[in-house]
């Protein structure tokens, strides 16, 4: 039988190669490949601040969570916005919220995302979480299809990011992941979100994730190299440090404008700006004649009824704007909170 190599350590029969290329599961530990019959709910959690920019994204995310939660195929449980501003805000009655403390002043050095692992540490210690699994999401996530529990027992599910490349940063990562812990290929090419993980695993990983994040931020070489993805690398390192492997699911999420179709994916992540001319051509890096970029709304929410993209713009971008418009049309007091 002929075999083909699909990664540095795995070969598969040649007749399965093409099927592998289109399989949304691009990497699954052998022990995780079991048929799952039981329904296992996961708690949806995201960390947030009380800034207007964070609030309007959380409101849209929660709107679509409620729409998707009870659809066939969903294994979503309850929802919590972990608010790391230290005090309640005006969304407490709209979105289930658990208030935790921010890092001490100055410790995040202007990198607010460092509060994320600290927020999860506090929430896991203090909150009553009924579900056995947790989805770590973000405010700029929209559920476009019912989300099942993609994890398998002790194997969490994660989205593989093309720009997280542990094996290209051996000198830096060995500061936090010594050789006795194993090869750098043990560090998955992921961030902490989206991830579905067993609660007891996250309870072990979260303190390490927090400590590694702070150490990385305080090391100039690491900070300069990893920049805004530093905390993502910290989660990947912390997971590997505890011997945790993730099932990599490329169908977990899409990111317009680079991913042009929603298809059967589960989460739409609107982190990138979408800029197009009136011919429907992408003008990334240059303000388009038509554009949607969440950063245009740092001080307050986008208006209701945003204009739709011109003809020729990918379906994923059209879907994004339509879903934002539906949410803003149906969320009460949209412009005043």
What pLDDT shows up at residue 38?
73
What's the pTM value of the predicted model, to 2 decimals? Answer: 0.90
Half-sphere exposure of 144 (CA within 13 A, CB side): 27
What pLDDT shows up at residue 13?
38
What pLDDT shows up at residue 24?
67
Mean pLDDT, each 10-residue run in order, the chain (337 residues): 36 38 60 64 98 98 97 97 98 98 90 95 98 98 98 95 97 97 97 98 98 97 97 98 97 97 97 97 95 97 98 98 98 94
What is the b/e burial string over 2-35, where b = at least 16 CB atoms within 10 angstroms of the residue's CB? Answer: eeeeeeeeeeeeeeeeeeeeeeebebbeeebeee
Minimal CA–CA distance to 156: which of 318, 3, 42?
42
What pLDDT shows up at residue 196?
98
Minimal CA–CA distance to 291: which of 304, 269, 306?
306
What pLDDT shows up at residue 197?
98
Question: What CA–CA distance (Å, rounded) separates 111 from 65?
Answer: 28
Say if CB 293 and CB 273 are below 8 A apart: yes
Tell me the torsion sign for CA atoms 225, 230, 233, 238.
positive
For 290, phi then psi, to 5°, come to -120, 135
* Tokens (6 digits) for 46: 């995201």
Say if CB 89 and CB 83 are below 8 A apart: yes
Tell me the torsion sign for CA atoms 294, 248, 258, 165.
positive
Q: End-to-end alpha-carbon separation of the chain, Å?
A: 63
Say if CB 95 and CB 44 are below 8 A apart: no
Per the document, the length of the chain is 337
Question: What CA–CA distance (Å, rounded) separates 191 from 230?
Answer: 9
Render pLDDT for 99-150 as a digit per residue (tens, 0 to 9). 999 999 988 888 899 999 999 999 999 999 999 999 999 999 999 999 999 9
């Amino acid at each position: 039988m002929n075999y083909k190599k699909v990664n540095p350590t795995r070969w598969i029969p040649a007749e399965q190669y093409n099927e592998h290329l289109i399989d949304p599961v691009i990497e699954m530990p052998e022990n995780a490949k079991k048929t799952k019959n039981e329904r296992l709910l996961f708690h949806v959690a995201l960390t947030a601040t009380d800034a207007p920019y964070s609030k309007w994204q959380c409101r849209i995310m929660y709107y679509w969570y409620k729409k998707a939660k009870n659809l066939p195929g969903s294994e979503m449980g309850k929802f919590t916005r972990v608010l790391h501003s230290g005090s309640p805000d005006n969304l407490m009655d709209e979105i289930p919220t658990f208030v935790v403390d921010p890092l001490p002043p100055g410790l995040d050095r202007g990198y607010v995302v460092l509060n994320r692992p600290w927020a999860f540490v506090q929430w896991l210690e203090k909150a009553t979480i009924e579900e056995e699994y947790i989805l770590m999401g973000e405010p700029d996530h929209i559920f476009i299809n019912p989300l099942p529990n993609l994890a398998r027992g002790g194997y969490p599910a994660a989205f593989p990011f093309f720009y997280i490349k542990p094996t290209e940063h051996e000198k830096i990562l060995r500061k936090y992941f010594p050789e006795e812990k194993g090869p750098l290929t043990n560090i998955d090419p992921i961030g902490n979100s989206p991830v579905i993980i067993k609660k007891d695993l996250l309870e072990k990983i979260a303190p390490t994730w927090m400590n590694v994040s702070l150490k990385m931020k305080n090391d100039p070489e690491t900070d300069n190299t990893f920049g805004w993805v530093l905390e993502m690398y910290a989660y990947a390192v912390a997971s590997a440090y505890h011997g945790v492997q993730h099932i990599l699911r490329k169908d977990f999420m899409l990111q317009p404008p680079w991913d042009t179709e929603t298809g059967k994916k589960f989460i739409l992540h609107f982190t990138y700006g979408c800029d197009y001319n009136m011919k429907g051509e992408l003008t990334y890096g240059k303000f388009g004649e038509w554009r949607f970029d969440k950063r245009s709304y740092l001080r307050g929410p986008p208006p209701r009824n945003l204009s739709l993209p011109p003809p020729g713009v990918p379906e994923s971008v059209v879907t994004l704007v339509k879903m934002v418009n539906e949410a803003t049309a149906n969320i009460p007091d949209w412009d005043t909170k």
